[in-house]
Amino acid sequence: MKTKKISHIGIAVTSLEAAIPLYRDVLGMEFEGTEEVAEQKVKVAFFIAGESRIELLEATTSDSPVAKFLEKNGEGIHHLAYEVDDVKAAIAALQAQGVRLIDNEPRRGAHGTSIAFLHPKATGGVLTELCQPHKL
């Protein structure tokens, strides 16, 4: 498999409403808007950072992965996402190399993307996402 670039950096926050002004008004980043990703139990806000994005993540349920993360660590960097052309092919390549995955099938991410997570125990403690952009 081949990763193309950093698609986005996911940052867990307790409240999008409270966190958005820092990125938009203090750091002066272009705000793209918010979206609820029901399958991942999160609401997200995106900011453009050159060819990549910053994704703020707020939990929408108490059993959301982001709620668990916040409980254990507080706010901070939650995951790193790399863009790939074909997430299904990337999953197959990682499986063939025996890499521990969280998602053995693509799932739906924000902006209609197809995503899959690798387990942080297989990636030196960095929760890693593969992200295939939505084809227009």
Residue range at the interface with ligand CMX (CB under 6 A); choices 16-24, 25-33, 35-43, 83-91: 35-43
Residue range at the interface with ligand CMX (CB under 6 A); choices 26-34, 45-53, 83-91, 102-110: 102-110
Number of other residues whose CB lies within 10 A of the CB of residue 20: 17
| Amino acid letter, 4 | K
Q: Between residues 5 and 68, which has the closer beta carbon with respect to ligand CMX?
A: 68
The single residue among 66, 90, 91, 118 that binds ligand CMX, judged by CB under 6 A, is: 66
CA distance 127 to 25: 28
Q: Between residues 25 and 95, which has the closer beta carbon with respect to ligand CMX?
A: 95
Q: Quote the Cα angle for 14-82-85, to 5°.
A: 135
Interaction of residue 10 with ligand CMX, rule CB under 6 A: yes
* C-beta of residue 10 within 8 angstroms of C-beta of residue 57: yes
